[in-house]
Chains A and B, each alone.
Chain A
């Protein structure tokens, strides 16, 4: 089955800095890669996703990049703000599967 590794487990940055979270996957058939943000005490919420036919996708201050050859994808947050503080999860889904495999999460702390 699919295996997703996520690094780092904790990331601490100053407000205004950039943050990068990386994930690797094992199943070359995976073709959908979502990212979820979970604020303290809240539910995970989809913030951005990318499909394997695209190398990069941006939405305001967040972007995701995908390297299919190396089997890794990354979340980039620019100009971080305190409200970006949360746990971020990556996931990977093989084509035709409705069962995503999640990474273990990254706790992002943005210091004012």
Chain B
């Protein structure tokens, strides 16, 4: 597996609280992505980054924000968690804008 980690791996939080998920890579890849995975929906892009401090929205960005202050770290923040954000979140990286490598995932439950 490519050098990509996510933290935490599991989290349970209450509705209305802010939550931050971290993706860390040791590959020095330029591109980083956050996806959510829900049954029947496959992988849906939340936000992506094409360089330090360069980010943009994906198809399901409402309620989420991101930051990338260093090449190796890409943070996903749920500003005020809702039950609809209960999901498995995957970070991915790529260098040549083709092959993507995924992190191990974070299972988030919002109660």
Within 8 Å CB of A29, what residues of B?
A: none
Chain B hits for A97, CB < 8 A: 97
Total A-B pairs in contact (CB under 8 Å)? 46
A: residues with CB less than 8 A from B are 6, 32, 34, 36, 42-46, 49, 89, 93, 96-100, 102-105
Q: Which among A42, A46, A49, A99 has the highest number of chain B CB atoms within 10 Å?
A: A99
Q: Is the CB of B99 within 8 A of A46?
A: yes
Q: How many residues of B sit at the interface, in one of the four size bands?
A: 20 to 34
Interface of B toward A, CB cutoff 8 Å: 1, 31, 40-45, 48, 50, 58, 90, 94, 97-105
The 10 closest A-B CB pairs, nearest first, are: A98-B97, A104-B42, A43-B102, A102-B43, A105-B42, A44-B102, A102-B42, A98-B31, A32-B98, A43-B104
